[in-house]
Amino acid sequence: MKATSVTTVMRALNADGAEARFVGGCVRDAILNRPINDIDIATEAKPDAVMDLLYRSRIKAIPTGISHGTITAVVDSQAFEITTLRRDLDTDGRHAKVIFTNDWQADAERRDFTINTLSLSPNGKIFDYVGGKKDILLGQVRFVRNAKTRIKEDVLRILRFYRFFADYGIAPANAEARAACCEMAPLLKRLSGDRVRQEILKLLESRDPVPSIKIMQADGILSHCLTKSANLDRLKRLIAIEKTISAKVDTYNTDVMLRLTALVDNNISEITRVTKLLNLPNCFQRRLNAATGPTPDEDKLQEALYRLGSTAVLDRLTLAWSLNNEIDLPLRVLSTINNWRKPKFPLTGQDGLDAGMAPGPELGDTLKTIEDWWVDNNFLPNREHCLKKLRSLISCI
């Protein structure tokens, strides 16, 4: 928060006397002494004034959501979301009509959870209107005021409750919030797949989503927004495998796609349904399709790596390992995958033409036969061996 790029934006926003403060995740994470990823800012200045202030300070300004008061400032390739204080005029469960205000408390009270209401001045003063700081420290995720009212304003807040509990909550989860979410869960069907996907993937991305998903299952939420056939035990084992693998490479990366696959028990028909339900991007779909194929034999690991690629091989093996209660990973296999460099097949189509073959399918089939022979021999035959194999095949044609 004291970085040069941050102070540059704050200085620009405060140039005409309108107050600007930090809000959102950066405030929560600062209080908990967690790493801060994104800097969000709220201001009394209206959107047009924000654009002007940034322009005068020669800061790139993008009107990403100007009708709702949101401007994105970019300094040194870092993006800052700046939003004008707002009050809700009307909501329909998905969208809200807002008016701009200079009332910080009114802006705080329109938010979903108490832990999201805090604001922080550039000099370090915390503004807490509904007891959000205490809830952050106690790990309590509570709706602001009445839980049902907040959910009626935006049904997505049901999923946000369980996602924030996964990131910031300490059991037991707030009883009033759970009861309201449970009662209003059928309204989740009103939401678009894109909005549901964003929350589900963010939930799965948390360090350990299992306790929160377990509560979602008990509250009947999961069946309304994702699946009725969740396998929490398999997801739990997969997360343990992730940690084991990460320890070997000295970094920890969550893998939402594999977690989603494990959660639906690697059921191909269910994966297909969830893919459509969440409107998953094509790149995710391609990876899921590759991950759900047959498990490679470890004695033919290099062949599988060559034909499928290291990502698909590791995905398939990881999902297979997640079936076992005893997680004892074959470190030799992991080492082979991590160190894999795909060898280059020594021949090209030009070699077939030079040997007298005509262009066409027969040439491709012949090269494919030689490549399969080369792979079966552990990629050991060199170019001369492959050319000799080519000549022998041509002589038989």
Token duo for residue 144: 């602001």
Domain containing 209 equals: 139-223
Q: What is the pLDDT, as a whole number, of residue 250?
A: 55
* Same domain flag for 27 and 87: yes
Token duo for residue 6: 């941050």
* Same domain flag for 60 and 93: yes
Could you tell me which residues come within 8 angstroms of residue 133 by beta carbon, excluding any fewer than 6 positions away? 31, 118, 126
* Same domain flag for 254 and 154: no
* Same domain flag for 219 and 294: no
Q: What is the pLDDT, as a whole number, of residue 330?
A: 79
Q: What is the pLDDT, as a whole number, of residue 92?
A: 60
Angle at 275 between CA 272 and CA 278, to 5 degrees: 150
Q: Structurally, how many domains does the chain consist of?
A: 4
Q: What is the pLDDT, as a whole number, of residue 31?
A: 96
In the chain, the amino acid numbered 362 is E
* Same domain flag for 180 and 209: yes
| Sign of the alpha-carbon dihedral angle for 289, 271, 320, 165 | positive
* Same domain flag for 84 and 122: yes
User: Which of 168, 195, 223 delimits the end of a domain?
Assistant: 223
Cis check for the bond before 172: say yes or no (omega within 30 of 0): yes
Query: For the chain (length 397 residues), average pLDDT per consecutive 10?
Result: 93 91 96 93 95 95 88 94 87 69 94 96 94 97 96 95 97 97 95 95 95 96 91 93 76 82 90 92 90 89 94 92 79 86 95 93 95 95 95 85
Token duo for residue 125: 């003063």
Q: What is the pLDDT, as a whole number, of residue 249?
A: 60
Contact between residue 42 and residue 50 where contact means Cβ atoms under 8 Å apart: no
Q: Which CATH number do you get for residue 16?
A: 3.30.460.10
* Same domain flag for 129 and 215: no
* Same domain flag for 325 and 361: no
User: Which of 91, 106, 134 delimits the end of a domain?
Assistant: 134
- Residue 15 half-sphere exposure, CB side, CA atoms within 13 Å? 15
User: Which of 342, 361, 382 delimits the end of a domain?
Assistant: 342
* Same domain flag for 332 and 253: yes
Contact between residue 216 and residue 204 where contact means Cβ atoms under 8 Å apart: no
Q: Which CATH number do you get for residue 184?
A: 1.10.110.30
Q: What is the pLDDT, as a whole number, of residue 94?
A: 59
Integer Cα distance of 372 and 369 in angstroms: 5
* Same domain flag for 173 and 261: no
Q: What is the pLDDT, as a whole number, of residue 293?
A: 87
Token duo for residue 218: 């008990």
* Same domain flag for 253 and 323: yes
Q: What is the pLDDT, as a whole number, of residue 90?
A: 66
Backbone angles phi, psi at 82, to 5 degrees: -115, 125
* Same domain flag for 70 and 186: no
